[in-house]
């Protein structure tokens, strides 16, 4: 399904047993509807992406919804847990084009416009990313940020640019967040900015990858996983269909 206007559905999924419809649109919103015999009732809406929804995937067993976006990220929404848990997955350098799920091994397969095929291990216990905290000064060294004119005047210092640690969410200056680290259990398979204290606290075990990366050598627009044969079919903007034997990675 395609769309040209903001707010128009771009992808949807349907749960046959519960008759719930999951719809993603260009505004980044996900809508859940319940289909009755003659009616369609709105259950809820939620938003977590900064870009439009480009792909959805539903796991009816774990009752988990995956949404991919033009903001390069994937979010796992725990619908069945009813706790509002949302786990981010960051492993692409361009928009997510398609998602598929291997139910028997609990592995998510994502394809992006960057040509990457990423196989995510969803059996590991993942952590939610923290919300970014607001502050007028660095929450590590207390130096003012550049808009904090009063503290800049009082301390006779030049204001600094604000950054955020991806592990603790604190607002920090560049000097206090000079390190980079991957945090796979938080979905960050690539290195991201962390404050110096969080960098020291991340163990080698916590840096161990939870996903494998593969180059499709095409701008993938659609993916289909055949669990029986353990084959992955991809098609791209180059109008080429490729068949992948996923036995070495989906097992």
Instruction: Find the Cα–Cα–Cα–Cα dihedral 57, 59, 62, 67, rounded to 10°.
Output: 0
Question: What's the alpha-carbon Rg for the chain, to the nearest Å?
Answer: 21
Q: Which two tokens stand for residue 113?
A: 């416009």
Q: Which two tokens stand for residue 107?
A: 């592995």
| Dihedral sign for Cα atoms in the order 35, 38, 44, 48 | positive
Residue by residue, pLDDT tens for the chain (251 residues) are: 333 334 555 667 888 888 889 999 999 999 999 988 788 889 889 888 999 999 999 998 888 999 999 999 999 998 876 666 889 999 999 999 999 999 889 999 999 999 999 999 999 999 888 889 989 899 999 888 877 787 778 788 777 788 999 999 999 999 999 999 999 999 999 999 999 999 999 999 999 999 999 999 888 888 899 888 999 999 988 899 999 998 888 76
User: For position 3, what pLDDT does the model report?
Assistant: 37
User: For position 198, what pLDDT does the model report?
Assistant: 95
Tell me which DSSP letter residue 5 carries: S
Q: How far apart are CA 144 and CA 152, in angstroms?
A: 6
| Dihedral sign for Cα atoms in the order 107, 27, 11, 83 | positive
Q: Which two tokens stand for residue 115?
A: 């040509």
Nearest alpha-carbon partner for 131 in 104, 164, 82: 164
């Amino acid at each position: 399904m395609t769309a040209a206007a903001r707010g128009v559905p771009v992808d949807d999924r349907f749960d046959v047993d519960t008759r719930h419809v999951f719809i993603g649109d260009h505004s980044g919103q996900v809508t859940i509807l319940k289909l009755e015999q003659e009616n369609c009732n709105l259950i809820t809406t939620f938003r977590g992406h900064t870009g439009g929804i480009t792909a959805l995937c539903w796991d009816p067993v774990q009752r988990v919804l995956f949404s991919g976006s033009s903001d390069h990220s994937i979010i796992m929404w725990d619908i069945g847990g009813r706790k509002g848990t949302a786990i981010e997955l960051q492993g692409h350098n361009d928009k997510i084009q398609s998602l598929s799920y291997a139910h028997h091994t609990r592995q998510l397969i994502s394809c992006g416009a960057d040509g990457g095929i990423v196989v995510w291990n969803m059996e590991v216990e993942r952590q939610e990313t923290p919300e970014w905290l607001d502050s007028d000064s660095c929450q590590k060294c207390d130096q003012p940020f550049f808009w904090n004119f009063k503290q800049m005047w009082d301390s006779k210092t030049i204001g600094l640019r604000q950054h955020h640690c991806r592990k603790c969410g604190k607002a920090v200056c560049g000097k206090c967040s000079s390190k980079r680290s991957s945090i796979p259990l938080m979905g960050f398979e690539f290195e991201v900015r962390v404050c110096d204290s969080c960098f020291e606290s991340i163990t080698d075990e916590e840096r161990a990858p939870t996903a494998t990366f593969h180059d499709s050598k095409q701008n993938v627009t659609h993916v289909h996983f055949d669990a029986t044969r353990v084959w992955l079919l991809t098609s791209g903007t180059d109008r080429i269909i490729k068949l992948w034997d996923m036995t070495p990675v989906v097992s």
